Amino acid sequence: MTVQLIAMQLFSGLALGAVLIMVALGLSIIFGMLGIVNFAHGALFMVGAYAGLYVAGLTGSFWWALLIAPVMIGLFGMLIERFLIRPLYGRSPDDPLLLTFGLGYVLVEAVRIFFGTDGIPFSTPAALRGVVNLGIGFFPLYRLFVIGVVVAVLLLLWVGLEKTKFGLIVRAGSADPLIMRVLGVDISRLWLVVFGIGVGITALGGVLAAPMRNVSPEMGTLVLAEAFVVTVIGGMGSLPGAVIAGLIVGVSVSMTSLFAPEMATIVMFALMALILLVRPNGLYGRAAPGL
């Protein structure tokens, strides 16, 4: 076991962390702002990948898929919010939870009917194939690209939430919707947009994952578990929490892979249990809004 191997393993862990952050981000945004536990998250991730496949097939370009598919699914998310979730605001938090849980099943079944149960190939775009020498070892160019996209998305989110008027309203709206309403802000429209953004980011995660994990109707099942582990460790609804937790989980999985590979998946859940024992609200958690 050389220093180089350990360094490479550490880097693989950070890269995996970036993938996990992408997977957890949409879930975290929607919970943080709207207080909705979105159980359709995995299914929307999968639908995003299929939308990417569809757009890529039509346009022949991965880049258009990366751009158009998340917007398409984001708009679809807004329809979900408008017609399915909005009637449930103000009721028990279990209601949207059950609704999205069922919605997840419907989406997976629909994809099975239209696209079949088999996996469908999704090539790595030609420009991003191959490996890059990092000095400590070789790493796929595509995964480096994914890290770049995740950093860009995080920056955009941060600027959008912290530096714009829209962000200010969103943050205020999540803190106290009633006062915002009194001040004349249309909270319904705000939540519609936030839900759409959350779903769009989830779909973007699906498109990004497609060349790495293949596209199949079940690809969202594991993602849902991963996303929950990361958001719970980070603190439900906290964006910095999701980022830190994603990296911690990635590195833990990677280091476990080196010493006890068969434990690689379990370590995620063990870590979650451990952190919940010490910090019941997660690393950056506060008591859930609206609960």
Q: CB-wise, 4 or 164, nearer to another protein? A: 4
Rank residues 129 and 181 by Cβ distance to another protein and give the closer one: 129
Closest approach of another protein to the CB of residue 69, in Å: 13
Half-sphere exposure of residue 115: CA atoms within 13 angstroms, side-chain side = 20
Is the dihedral angle over the CA atoms 89, 95, 98, 99 positive or is it negative?
negative
Least distance in angstroms from the C-beta of 99 to another protein: 22
52 vs 70 by CB, closer to another protein: 52
Please give, one letter per residue, the 3-state secondary structure of 175-227.
Answer: HCHHHHHHCCCCHHHHHHHHHHHHHHHHHHHHHHHHHHHCECCCHHHHHHHHH
Distances (CA, A) of 65 to 48, 53, 200, 248: 10, 7, 13, 30
Least separation in angstroms between residue 204's CB and another protein is 17
d(CA 105, CA 119) in angstroms, rounded, equals: 18
Q: At closest approach, how far in Å is the CB of 198 from another protein?
A: 21
Binding residues for another protein (CB under 8 A): 2, 4-5, 8-9, 12-13, 15-16, 19, 53-54, 56-58, 60-62, 113-125, 130-131, 137-140, 142-143, 212-216, 218-219, 222-223, 226, 253-254, 257-258, 261-266
CB nearer another protein, residue 183 or residue 263: 263
Half-sphere exposure of 75 (CA within 13 A, CB side): 5
List Cβ neighbours of 124 (8 Å cut-off, separation of 6 or more): 142, 211
- Closest CB to another protein among 83 and 114? 114
Judged by beta carbon, residue 18 or residue 197, the one nearer another protein is 18
Nearer of residues 41 and 191 to another protein, judged by Cβ:
41
Shortest CB 248 distance to another protein, Å: 14
**Distance of alpha carbon 288 from the chain centroid:** 19
Token pair listed for 22: 């992408």
Instruction: Identify residue 208 by its one-letter amino acid code.
Output: L
Least distance CB 123 / another protein (angstroms): 5
Least distance (Å) between residue 2 CB and another protein: 7
| Residue 100 CA: distances (Å) to CA of 20, 45, 277 | 21, 13, 28
Q: Which residues, at least 6 apart from 274, have a Cβ–Cβ distance to it below 8 Å?
A: none
C-beta of 143 vs 233, nearer to another protein: 143
Measured from the Cβ of residue 115, the count of other Cβ atoms closer than 10 Å reads 16
Q: Least distance to another protein from the beta carbon of 202, Å?
A: 16
